[in-house]
Every structure is written in structure tokens, then in C-alpha cells.
Amino acid sequence: MNKSKMFLSLALIVYFGAILHFSGCMTEPVTGRRQFNIIPQGQEMQLGLTSFEQLKKEVPISKDPSINALVQKVGKRIAAVADLPNAQWEFIVFENKEANAFCLPGGKVGIYTGILPITKDELGLATVIGHEVAHATARHGGERMTVALASQGIETVLNATMADSKWQAAAATAYGAGSQLIVALPHSRLQEYSADEIGLIYMAKAGYEPGAAVDFWQRFAEYNSKQGGETMWFLRTHPMDQDRVKKLQEWLPRARQEYHPNP
């Protein structure tokens, strides 16, 4: 491949990337982080609703009245302060030993029974639900899909224009591995930190002492260390080092300004 063709290919990538970037720029709530998301919100929500309905058919739902009552109580308080217009909130406890929780686009929240011994109490549950709801309000799912689509598009252009084997190898290293990680991992570390910060504000606004978030993540780290050192699915993108605790502590003063105990 000659230099002129290579330059033209790279110019096209930059040009179309710039168009997508400026047409898909959004601002994350609370943090103000700039995002790249070209997925229509309605489409993103529909994907979440459809996936949640399918999950309810495949995974047993808990019938424990006390657990369900607590999840509904905390979920509704968090939802009342969350920035998600047209959300169809639903909070379901799934019978699953995995220590996990999630919130799909559209306001569909799932709590696995395996995480409840770690949440321990209402404050711990508020930490988890606040964090997961933050992923939905910040539209992290659409952001991740956008990056995956953009990466696939760049790969297509590169594969079509860079016939030289050395350039193809470089392209595979730069874009191929990254794309696989984007598809395989639910959220990036950057999104996880954003969800921590946003979730901290949500739980404070809902009347929960935000300092409990630090206690929860420390319990989770201790729980994980007792599992023989194997990193659980929930923690593959959830940073568990001291940096996370440090960041939470940095955000606490702002969160406590939003905190008013619920009578």
C-alpha cells in the first residue's frame, strides 16, 4: 500500500470519526464527563426492556417477602432522585448465588441473592442500587455499544485498505483486541468510577449516609479475597484497589452536602 492511499484512508477515518464524535457528544449527569454515544435513547431503552423480560423467564425470582420488600423500598427511593426520564422502573431479586447486580437501560434493576450477605443492610443495598442505577442514567450501555460499533467500523476500513500484512497486524493489535474487550466486558473502569460518584450522590439525595459506600466496597474486597483469589465476574471491571476507596472519600464532602436523613 503506497503512502498516498494510506494517508487517504487515515484521513477518512479521522473525518468520519469527527462527524460521529460531534453528533454523538453527551454530558454525564453529576460528573459532567463528556461522552460519545450515537445510540438513540429509545432504542437503548427497548433493548434493556426486552433483555430484562427474557431474563425473568430464564432465572428464578426470589419469593422471600422481606428481601423483596427491602429491595422495593430502597429501589424506589433511589429511583425518585435518579436522572432517567421516561424510565419504567422495576426491581427484581433473582435467585442466583453469584454476587452481582445490574441496571439495564430503561430502569430495569436486578439484584442477585448472592450479593445480599455482602450488602448486609439497607445502606449497603442503597450503595449497590445507587451504583447500578447510575450506569443507566449515564447511559453507559449506549456509550459502550457506540464505541464497539465505531471500533468495528474502523476495523472494516483498515482491513479493506491496508493490504500489507505488517499494517494488518498493527491494525489488529490496535483495534482488534480493544474491540473484543469492549464486547466482553460490561463497563469500562472509567464508567465504573463515574457510577461510583453518581451513585454516591443518588444515595445521599435518597437519605442514605453516603459514607456507607466505602464500608460496602471494603466488605466486597474482603469477600473476594476469601474466594481463593479468583476474581469474580462482578469485579472484572470494578476497580477494587485503594484508589477506589480514595476516590469515594474525595467525593464524600460533596455527597454529604446532598444528604438529608429520611425521617
Q: Is 213 exposed, middle or buried (0-12, 13-18, 19+ CB in 10 A)?
A: buried
Q: Are 141 and 104 in contact (CB under 8 A)?
A: yes
| pTM for this predicted structure | 0.76
CA–centroid distance for 39 within its chain: 16
Distance in angstroms (rounded) separating the CA atoms of residues 113 and 110: 10
pLDDT at 35: 86
pLDDT at 239: 55
pLDDT at 127: 97
pLDDT at 134: 96
> What does the pLDDT look like over 66-117, one tens digit per residue?
999 999 999 999 999 998 989 999 999 999 998 889 998 889 999 999 999 9
Nearest 5°: phi and psi at 2?
Answer: -80, 170
pLDDT at 10: 47
Under-50 pLDDT residues of the chain: 7-16, 18-20, 22-23, 154-185, 233-235, 237
Residue type, 8: L
pLDDT at 17: 52
pLDDT at 255: 97
pLDDT at 162: 41
Q: Strands 108-112 and 101-104, how do they pair?
A: antiparallel
Residue with cell string 466496597: 217
Distance in angstroms (rounded) separating the CA atoms of residues 211 and 31: 18
Q: Which of 152, 2, 23, 139 is CA-nearest to residue 82?
A: 139
The Cα-based distances of 21 to 32, 78, 209 in angstroms read 17, 32, 38
pLDDT at 223: 83
pLDDT at 121: 97
Helices (H), the chain: 3-23, 41-58, 65-79, 116-119, 122-137, 140-161, 165-171, 177-184, 189-205, 212-225, 242-257
Residue type, 75: G
Distance in angstroms (rounded) separating the CA atoms of residues 149 and 19: 14
